Amino acid sequence: MMNLFCKTLLASALASATLASANAAEPLTVYGKLNVSAQSNDEKGEATTAIQSNASRFGVKGELALSSSLEAFYTVEYQVDTGAASSDNFTARNQFVGLKGGFGSFSVGRNDTLLKISQGDVDQFNDLSGDLGKLFKGEVRAAQTATYLTPSFGNFVFGVTYVAEGNDEKSQFAQDGFSLAAMYGDAKLKKTPVYAALAYDADVSGYEIMRASVHTKLAGIKLGGMYQQQEQTYKIDKVTSLPVAVSADSANGYLLSAAYDIDAVTLKAQFQDMEELGDSWSLGADYNLGKPTKLFAFYTSRSLEAATDDDSYIGVGLEHKF
């Protein structure tokens, strides 16, 4: 009950801040999306039906010029799980504050690592059952980060995320981590014909990861590819609940995606494979009702080497952005 009360106060505070900002000099943007699907999920040989939220979110963000060469910016965002109990349907997403200018940008707070950000729009089933994070490690949003991004140099941007050792709730896991990335072009492919990125995680959430991503458009077809090499550096012992160093070979994986627009319909396909873990493939279609709203349908099949039965997911849903 207390948790629900606190979250109700939080929502009220955000609403009050929005109304106050409407009459203030500092601009503030309220944004979000609701993405909800009706699904039939077959996992570990057991079929269930669900009405589930797919990373629905609500947030506020803004920026303010402090001088002719310096600007402050911030984001406070929460995930809204429409299918969870009322006491559990708010969870923290990116929440940071920063400064930007001719030097680039610097921010501190809860944020996605640069390796996660570097994927751009390669994943055509992001936040759904076919999300690349189901097989690839590295989709990390760390609570205690500092991130620096350089200015753009001929469409190239370089950056680093530092993950503080205090990020882990359990002190025995504490260690500094770094996420590095070099990115070229516009992930939306509106300013450049190609987007490409190379990223590396060192000791972030118990893994060292190298990821290369590329996204382009040929003959009207959006094509994406990703190569990833991941190596676990520690794991949690099930008996003692303590971290144990791991000396294991690295695993290699790749992802291929495609999307094609036919009037208001976008057809999508994706295949992903991770060595010693499994593979998955997804097919889907989006029907755009308007710029902020779409209907969608998808099917995902995932085969895990450690399981005897394949997992499958079929769903239809509605997304509205605001």
Q: pLDDT digits over 185-200, tens only?
A: 999 999 999 999 999 9
Residue 17 has pLDDT above 70, yes or no: no
Mean pLDDT of 98-109: 98
Tell me what pLDDT residue 67 has: 96
Percent of the chain with pLDDT over 90: 76
Tell me what pLDDT residue 9 has: 42
Are residues 45 and 311 in contact, defined by beta-carbon separation less than 8 angstroms? Answer: no
Tell me what pLDDT residue 14 has: 56
Q: Which residue did the predictor score with more confidence, 308 or 178?
A: 178
Sorted by where each begins, the domain ranges of the chain are 63-255
Coil, strand or helix at 292 = coil
Are residues 216 and 195 in contact, defined by beta-carbon separation less than 8 angstroms? Answer: yes
Q: pLDDT digits over 142-174, tens only?
A: 999 999 999 999 999 999 999 998 776 554 556
Residue 307 has pLDDT above 70, yes or no: yes
Classify domain 63-255 at the CATH class level: mainly beta
Tell me what pLDDT residue 206 has: 86
Confidence of residue 45 (pLDDT cuts 50, 70, 90): confident
Structure tokens at 64: 């303010």
Confidence of residue 249 (pLDDT cuts 50, 70, 90): confident
Residue 272 has pLDDT above 90, yes or no: yes
Residue 114 has pLDDT above 70, yes or no: yes
Q: pLDDT digits over 208-227, tens only?
A: 999 999 999 999 999 999 99
CB under 8 Å to 19, separation ≥6 — which residues? none
Residue 53 has pLDDT above 60, yes or no: yes
Confidence of residue 15 (pLDDT cuts 50, 70, 90): low
How high is the mean pLDDT of the chain? 90
Alpha-carbon distance of 73 to 61, in angstroms, equals 7
Tell me what pLDDT residue 246 has: 72
Tell me what pLDDT residue 171 has: 44
Name residue, tokens 């290699």: 252
Q: CA 299: distance to chain centroid?
A: 20
Alpha-carbon distance of 158 to 150, in angstroms, equals 5
Confidence of residue 56 (pLDDT cuts 50, 70, 90): very high
Mean pLDDT of 20-43: 83
Which has the closest alpha carbon to 285: 314, 310, 255? 314
Are residues 235 and 243 in contact, defined by beta-carbon separation less than 8 angstroms? Answer: yes
For the whole model, what pTM was predicted?
Answer: 0.88
Alpha-carbon distance of 206 to 141, in angstroms, equals 14
Confidence of residue 84 (pLDDT cuts 50, 70, 90): confident
Q: pLDDT digits over 121-136, tens only?
A: 999 999 999 999 999 9
Confidence of residue 241 (pLDDT cuts 50, 70, 90): low
Residue 7 has pLDDT above 70, yes or no: no
What φ, ψ does residue 287 adopt, rounded to 5°? -120, 110
Tell me what pLDDT residue 96 has: 98
Give the amino acid at 26.
E
